[in-house]
């Protein structure tokens, strides 16, 4: 009897162990899947779940979001982190309405042409929403393939074209099976083949893993540590954005001055929010969320 393929082993494991996540429900639709993929970038599932549900209750279609303001998208994003994603998702919704009649496109090149949709997100939507055969490669997938196939403990900080090729070679030929395998690779990296504490005895490909066979050598380079948050410009940006998000109109500069003690850092953070298209000045001495003008929808 032939040995099961690499993808088959992981897919069988996935069918028994995958997390029950709402964007994986059959027939959920391409828009909810696209929203989930944008939200999940650099954000844990546990934080995304309530935000995803709330977002889709308010904007169940791209047209619903496109008809609202960027300011409301930022408000609804709340404290999910990296709020530029909210603006990009709203820009994406506008493009979907204008170019595709309000339906998330199926073709990869059309997905890649949408604002804020990169290589990973486009392939994820094509695979998970439309059952197409594309390598869907995130940090988790790269780690699984790097360890099990190449015998290396770490795949490096960024996705390279060679990562897409290596992953695609492992996918089944049949598109639906390939899409399922892509989800399975990702789940294995998230739950078992983790960066810091891999659970090798629970891994479905332990017996064929090149890294395991080599004795699980440690990475050759320095270990990547979580980014510091306290006291950084990112924290100050979050504090400023929180005040503006909760406001019902323009916020005087004097009120924003109370957010952080360091004048230079606070000014730099505020300028960054303006440059990033999240905040705009009103007159000479006030600020508001982008597009939060007189015709903006009231906060809900």
Measure the CA dihedral 260/262/264/269, to 10°. Answer: -30
Catalytic residue among 3, 37, 103, 174: 37
Cα 135 to Cα 97: distance, rounded to the nearest angstrom: 27
Contact present, 90 and 53 (Cβ < 8 Å): no
Comparing C-alpha atoms, which of 182, 211, 162 is closest to residue 10?
Answer: 182
37 is catalytic: yes
DSSP per-residue string spanning 43-84 = S-HHHHHHHHHHHHHH-SSHHHHHTS-HHHHHHHHTTSS-TH
Alpha-helix residue ranges (DSSP H) falling in 192-225 = 210-213
Per-residue DSSP letter, 217 = P
Contact present, 144 and 193 (Cβ < 8 Å): yes
Max CA pair span of the chain = 77
CB atoms under 10 Å from CB of 39, counted, come to 24
Token pair of 238, please?
Answer: 């979050």
Cα 115 to Cα 84: distance, rounded to the nearest angstrom: 12
Q: What positions carry a catalytic annotation? A: 37
């Amino acid at each position: 009897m032939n040995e099961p393929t690499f993808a088959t082993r992981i897919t069988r494991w996935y069918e028994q162990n995958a997390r029950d996540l709402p964007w994986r429900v059959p027939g959920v639709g391409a828009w909810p899947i696209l929203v989930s993929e944008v939200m999940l970038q650099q954000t844990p599932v546990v934080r995304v779940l309530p935000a995803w549900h709330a977002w889709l209750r308010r904007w169940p279609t791209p047209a619903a979001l496109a008809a609202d303001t960027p300011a409301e998208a930022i408000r609804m994003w709340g404290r999910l982190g990296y709020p530029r994603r909210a603006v990009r998702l709203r820009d994406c919704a506008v493009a979907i309405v204008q170019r595709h009649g309000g339906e998330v496109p199926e073709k990869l090149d059309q997905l890649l042409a949408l604002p804020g949709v990169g290589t990973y997100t486009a392939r994820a939507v094509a695979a998970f929403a439309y059952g197409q055969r594309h390598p869907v490669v995130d940090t988790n997938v790269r780690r699984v393939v790097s360890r099990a196939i190449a015998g290396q403990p770490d795949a490096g900080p960024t996705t390279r074209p060679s990562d897409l090729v290596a992953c695609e070679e492992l996918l089944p030929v049949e598109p639906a099976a390939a899409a399922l395998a892509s989800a399975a690779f990702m789940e294995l990296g998230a739950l078992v083949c983790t960066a810091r504490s891999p659970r090798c005895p629970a891994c479905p490909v332990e017996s064929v893993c090149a890294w395991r066979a080599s004795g699980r050598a440690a990475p050759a380079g320095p270990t990547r540590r979580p980014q510091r948050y306290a006291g950084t410009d990112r924290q100050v940006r979050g504090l400023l954005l929180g005040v503006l998000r909760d406001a019902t109109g323009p916020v005087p500069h004097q009120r924003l001055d109370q957010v952080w003690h360091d004048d230079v850092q606070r000014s730099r953070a505020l300028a960054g929010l303006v440059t990033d298209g999240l905040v705009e000045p009103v007159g000479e001495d006030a600020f508001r969320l982008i597009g939060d003008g007189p015709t903006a929808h009231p906060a809900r």
